[in-house]
Amino acid sequence: MNIPYGKQEITEADTIAVVEALKSDFLTQGPRVKEFEQAFAKYIGAKHAIAVSSGTSALHLCMMSLGFKKGDVGVTSPLTFSASANCMAYLDMDVVFCDIDPTTYLLDIKKLEIQLHNGLKPKVVVPVSYAGYPYPTKELYTLAQKYNFKIVEDSCHAPGAYIKNQDGQIYRSGDCQFTDLAIFSLHPVKHIAAGEGGVVTTNNTELYEKILKLRTHGIFKDESLFPDEPWRYELDDLGYNYRMTDLQCGLGLSQLKRAGDKVITRNQIAKKYTEELSDIKEIDLPEVDENSFHAYHLFVIQTERRLELYEFFKSRGIYTQVHYVPVYKLKFYKDKNIYNDEDYPNTESFYKKCLSIPMYPNITEEELDFVISSLREFFGY
């Protein structure tokens, strides 16, 4: 067998959608982009959505739109893909990490509050909905009001995830009820695959309009500015070519139609893993609060025998992954000599044991049973 940790699902309907886009009058900057943005905003529950070239460019545009500059402080989790921090480094901001909660694996709000109380003054916090666990942005918003910082939610793992409050109110990852901006990735292993691509969501119309310009070099047209030169365009902010094509948006639109069902399937897979692996004392399984609906981009187990298990799986054609090498361990950040491993004990402990096992909606029952039986055999159960 050849079983990856994650995999896209491409159907005949997806193929037809891309071919239709290919045969249309627009390969880029056409009507499918706006159509996808509107459909995505509706699915997530935000007022606005902006389609861009990747989750990384989405993060970069968020930082730019908020006007940050060299020396401004930003905070994020060390347990994330490096883009969550890189987006701040692009602007020469000072990147600060906050350790994770050992149960949820999310940036620990209590530890952040201690850092803030001790004098940390960030301009922005970038919480990460790691593995698909929805981040409690309402709690973070309370801190943001007190300490005056912006919130940009990295929801790449969590479209479809949500939290239900005790009063029955639901807030969804990326709906921006308690954040300024949020971002998503459309990479093939994510919930909604468009080859490459990303999305920014926001309820702030001013930020929405600014990001629309920044994703296209900062260029815009306004005929009232040049009545005698109707061909003229203007550039008042230096932006980038961060557009998403009509081909990608055509695929994204088709994938969106199945997005809700795929999250349910991911939860069914997680339930089976939990039920059939819970008796193995040598591994720790993810725990989810009863008020949280997990999107399960990843299913991450922990074991002291990670390397042995990784190699055993590989010998059987089962390909796992470690998510992630803590960002402060990467050379670009390590060379700054300002981050110490001992400052992040929960991240260190998790990193030494974590392993993402196969999780994707189109995994077959045979493949899933093979992963489970192989894991049980390895531990002698």
Does 324 sit behind a cis peptide bond, omega within 30 degrees of 0 on the bond before it?
Answer: yes
Mean pLDDT on 285-304? 97
Q: Going from the N-terminus, what domains does the chain have, and what CATH number goes with each?
A: 12-256 (3.40.640.10), 259-379 (3.90.1150.10)
Burial 320-356 (b: 16+ CB within 10 A, else e): bbbbbebbbbbeebeeeeebeeeebebbbebbebbbb
Q: Is the per-residue pLDDT at 223 higher than 90?
A: no
Under the phi-then-psi rule, with left for phi > 0, alpha for psi from -120 to 50, and beta for the rest, what region is 74? beta
Least confident residue range of 198-207, 221-230, 303-312, 349-358: 221-230
Environment class of 156 (CB within 10 Å of its CB; exposed 0-12, middle 13-18, buried 19+):
buried
pLDDT of res. 331: 98
Q: Is the per-residue pLDDT at 166 higher than 90?
A: no
Q: Is the per-residue pLDDT at 172 higher than 90?
A: yes
Choose among 264, 284, 282: nearest CA to 274.
284
Alpha helices by DSSP H, listed for the chain, are 12-22, 31-44, 55-65, 83-89, 109-117, 137-147, 205-214, 246-256, 259-277, 306-315, 331-334, 345-353, 365-379
Q: What are phi and psi of 73, to 5 degrees?
A: -100, 135
- 84 is written with which tokens? 């969550």
Whole-model pTM: value is: 0.97
Cα dihedral 150, 349, 80, 315, rounded to 10, equals -170
Tell me the percentage of the chain whose pLDDT exceeds 70: 100
pLDDT of res. 311: 98
> Do 202 and 192 form a contact (C-beta atoms < 8 A)?
no
Average pLDDT of the chain to the nearest whole number: 97
What is the per-residue pLDDT across 41-61, written as a single tens digit (0 to 9) for each? 999 999 999 999 999 999 999
| Identity of the amino acid at 64 | M
pLDDT category at 3 given cuts 50, 70, 90 is very high
Q: What are phi and psi of 167, to 5 degrees?
A: -85, 5
Mean pLDDT on 286-299? 96
Q: Is the per-residue pLDDT at 221 higher than 90?
A: no
